[in-house]
A and B are shown apart, each in its own frame.
Chain A
Amino acid sequence: MVHALEEIRRLLKPTGILIDIHPVAESSPIEIHQGGKIDLAGDLSVRQWCTDYEQADMALSEITQRGLLAVERESVFDSLTHYDSVEELRTGLKESIDKFARDAQSADEAVPHAEALAARAEELIQAAVSGAELIVRERVHISRLKPRFPT
């Protein structure tokens, strides 16, 4: 990713900016919202994804330490994905795993974990009255960086 950031700097005009958006390297709670009450079904935590995001953070850190890009502004926000049913959650998690689990070992870790979370969510939904909503909450880091050039 360091090489990609060097290439991004090359593609930017000297007055340009890079906006980097990626999830924070931590687990994502799966919540059941109902009538102002929030129950936690569990935390979606896949080691490979956290490792990927940590590596993204390290690459950004390296490139700023080398003086190629400078962070001008940064913040964190919550990105909430709403599912109307446990089946939707299962499908959504499966699609994420298919997309991001790059090798068999990480898929072996992610699939049973996601399935266990979906089963727990199903128990909570069944215990709730109608109108409960399933939400996966991800913390997302956003930063604005400026290219720096030797004077």
Chain B
Amino acid sequence: MTIRTDPENNEARALSDMANFSGHHVLEIGCGDGRVTWLYADKAAHVTAIDPSASQIALAREQLPGQLQGRVEFHDIAFEDFAAASSPSAFDIVILSWSLC
């Protein structure tokens, strides 16, 4: 099965127009299987990507490229629980990724 989402790279262009990820600590909320994460993760200093779906996070972890090991971490957790356990002023960039929290 070959479903291709945004092979035109419209989203990657829109994202890079909005932010410079170089050297930044990024939180992505609603990362799903990491489809958006792969668009910018190679530029960021560190990425914390969360999604409440354990199966989607498992897929994301499976697809994590070797060169991003240690730089990208995936967590299956709801945003409200993640936020409750997080310190303030921790991130340079937060991406609300097709997510309604």
Whether chain B is bound by chain A comes out as yes
Separation of A75 and B93 alpha carbons in the complex (Å): 18
Q: With contacts defined as CB atoms under 8 Å apart, how many contacts are there between chain A and chain B in the complex? A: 119
A residues 1-55 near B (Cβ < 8 Å) are 1, 3-4, 7-8, 10-23, 52-53, 55
Residue of A nearest to B97 (CB): A21
Are B6 and A12 neighbours in the complex by a CB distance under 8 Å? no
Which residues from chain A contact B96 at a C-beta distance below 8 Å?
Answer: 8, 18-22
Are A19 and B18 neighbours in the complex by a CB distance under 8 Å? yes
Interface size class of B (residues with CB under 8 A): 35 or more
Which residues from chain B contact A17 at a C-beta distance below 8 Å?
Answer: 18-19, 92-94
Are A81 and B6 neighbours in the complex by a CB distance under 8 Å? yes
Residues of B within 8 A of A (CB): 1-8, 10-11, 13-15, 17-19, 27, 29, 36, 79-80, 83, 86, 88-101
Residues of A within 8 A of B (CB): 1, 3-4, 7-8, 10-23, 52-53, 55-56, 73, 75, 77-84, 88, 91-92, 140, 142-144
